[in-house]
Amino acid sequence: MGHLSTHVLDTMNGCPAAGMQVTLQRMDGSNVETLKSLSLNADGRNDGGPLLDAASMAVGRYRLLFDVAPYFRARGVALPEPAFIDTVALDFGIADAGGHYHVPLLVSPWAYSTYRGS
């Protein structure tokens, strides 16, 4: 059964990015549809199941938007204006609607990395 999930780790503070705002969008040519907006839980994950469950999974192009600068400012980090990293936009494709797609983000105010997790 396919599904999409994410997990965000704050590498500056060595903890999950609890409270970070995340938006999931589906992209179809020039049309962008927001599917879900959420706040990450204490473990840096979304509550209430996967971002996309088996019934919602579809082949296509997607974007995850992670509100990085607002998260770090809320933690009391003094960031310049504009912040070096404001929003991380990760564009990715789902080629197999029956697959498990996990998109983790490791982030600080100055750097980030991602990969297709398991």
CA separation for the pair 11, 77 (Å, rounded): 13
What does CATH list as the number for 3-114? 2.60.40.180
Tell me, what DSSP letter sits at residue 16? E
pTM of the model: 0.96
Alpha-helix residue ranges (DSSP H) falling in 6-102: 68-74
Check residue 1 and report its DSSP letter: -
Q: Please report, in tens digits, the pLDDT of each residue of the chain (118 residues total).
A: 899 999 999 999 999 999 999 999 999 999 999 999 999 999 999 998 899 999 999 999 999 999 999 999 999 999 999 999 999 999 999 999 999 999 999 999 999 999 999 8
- Domain layout of the chain by residue ranges: 3-114
Is residue 12 within 8 A of residue 77, CB to CB? The reply is yes
Q: Residue 21: name the closest of 2, 4, 34 by CA.
A: 34
Rounded to a whole number of angstroms, the distance between the first and last alpha carbons of the chain is 14
